[in-house]
Amino acid sequence: MVIINPWSKRLVPVIGILTARKKDGSIAGNGTLFIELQKKLISLNGVSFIFTPDGVHEDSIDGFIFIPEKNGWERINSPFPDLVYNRIPFRRSEEELKSSTFFSFLKEKNIPFFNPGFIDKSELYHLFKNHPFLHTFLPETIQANHKHKLSAFLSQYQSIYLKPSQSARGNGIFKLELDTQKKVYIKGLQENDEFVTFDYFWKEWESKLREKNYLAQEEIKSSLYDGKRFDFRILAHSENDHYQVTGIGIRQSQVQDITTHIPSGGRLLPYKQLQTEEHDIFIEAVVEHIGKALTEKFGFFGEFSIDIGLSQSGQYYIYEVNSKPMSFDETDIEERKIEHLCQLFLQLTGNKTN
């Protein structure tokens, strides 16, 4: 059943959540997030629907709305929303969208677009490298597409990480190590290999490093807790032209030390176990600087997450910034996320509920 224009009088703020389709044609994305946003928005006298780029027409959008009373989704045809929240989960889908007429539609209708898109690690590094505050907290990083530069970089640090410029959740990350005999060892989540010399490594890996636009990053000797490395995982949102910390979690490596991500075997720890006043002050400051830097460079960022490490010498390091944060396993952080997102939606749409 198709509901035509379910909010014809437009007395409430309408949020359009933009996602994409999987290869089989089904709707992709974080269904739980979409449902919780709809429930919260309804309680605040708002409403949301999800849609994909193929559902966009010149004057309306075909999409889906979650009906809590029925605990299910229904098809709708809606006017353009008051705000579009970008949750496209695939980089390729987002790139295809950029070449469409969708953004010209939004501009014509003066509709805010919440979060410009995925962040390229190389662009992010250069943005922060030139920032008066953030540059202090970056591991040394180079492009991994030049044989002699990469060889010299590995010789300098002995142990480095290789990261694709366009990836998330620890996908495609490898650790590259050089021993005293000039042997090269490469370690990943699923595979390990060794090479007699760097030349042999480069011969096998050159095409992959270039194709995926890999970066090489010095390994930071991480501070340990119970003998294992850990990272801070921080969620942040915009509020009244500033950026605030929504939640902080700790992710600790267990069976491998390449990444602390839980899907890769990492362990969750409550922030209060390692919390200090110094950590609090630094995290609040870095969130504000990162939020403003991203928005000035790429367009309005309403939310993001940050992975921050702490070295054995007590130096903080920014490892990753994610424009479309994964769900946090901490339920209290997820609840605050929903609350902050919905309040931000209302703020950006002019608080139609008032």
CATH code of residue 258: 3.30.470.20
What is the sign of the dihedral through the CA atoms of 222, 225, 227 and 233?
negative
Number of domain units in the chain: 3
Task: State residue 353's pLDDT score.
Answer: 46
Q: How far apart are CA 35 and CA 186, in angstroms?
A: 42
Q: Are residues 228 and 310 in the same domain?
A: yes
- State the burial class of residue 101 (Cβ atoms within 10 Å of its Cβ: 0-12, 13-18, 19+): exposed
Residue 302 lies in a domain: yes
Residue 347 lies in a domain: no
Classify 271 as helix, strand or coil: helix
Q: How far apart are CA 296 and CA 116, in angstroms?
A: 11
Alpha helices in the chain (DSSP H): 31-43, 91-98, 102-108, 121-129, 147-157, 198-211, 277-298, 331-348
Q: How far apart are CA 245 and CA 286, in angstroms?
A: 10
Q: Are residues 128 and 275 in the same domain?
A: yes
Q: Are 91 and 169 in contact (CB under 8 A)?
A: no
Which residue type is seen at 232? F
User: Looking at the DSSP assignment, which residues form a beta bridge with residue 242?
Assistant: 239
pLDDT tens digits, residue range 150-204?
A: 999 999 999 999 999 887 666 788 999 999 888 999 998 778 899 999 999 999 9
The label of the residue with tokens 């640090």 reads 157
Q: Are residues 208 and 255 in the same domain?
A: no
- State the burial class of residue 72 (Cβ atoms within 10 Å of its Cβ: 0-12, 13-18, 19+): exposed
Q: How many CB atoms lie within 10 A of CB 193?
A: 13
Which residue type is seen at 155? S
Classify 169 as helix, strand or coil: coil
pLDDT tens digits, residue range 307-321?
A: 999 999 999 999 999
Q: Are residues 8 and 104 in the same domain?
A: yes
pLDDT tens digits, residue range 100-157?
A: 788 888 888 899 998 888 999 999 999 999 999 999 999 999 999 999 999 999 999 9
The pTM is what? 0.89
* pLDDT band at residue 4 under the 50/70/90 scheme: very low
Which residue type is seen at 323? S
Q: Are residues 210 and 244 in the same domain?
A: no
| Residues counted in the chain | 354
pLDDT tens digits, residue range 37-84?
A: 999 999 999 999 999 999 999 889 999 999 999 999 999 999 999 999
Q: Are residues 263 and 244 in the same domain?
A: yes
Which range marks the domain in which residue 76 is found?
Answer: 2-115
Q: Are residues 105 and 243 in the same domain?
A: no
Task: State residue 3's pLDDT score.
Answer: 44
Q: What is the mean pLDDT of the chain?
A: 89
Domain boundary (194, 218, 242) is at 218
Q: Are residues 172 and 102 in the same domain?
A: no
Task: State residue 257's pLDDT score.
Answer: 57
Q: Are residues 133 and 239 in the same domain?
A: yes
Residue 36 lies in a domain: yes
* pLDDT band at residue 255 under the 50/70/90 scheme: low
Q: What percent of the chain has a predicted confidence (pLDDT) above 70?
A: 91
Residue 339 lies in a domain: no
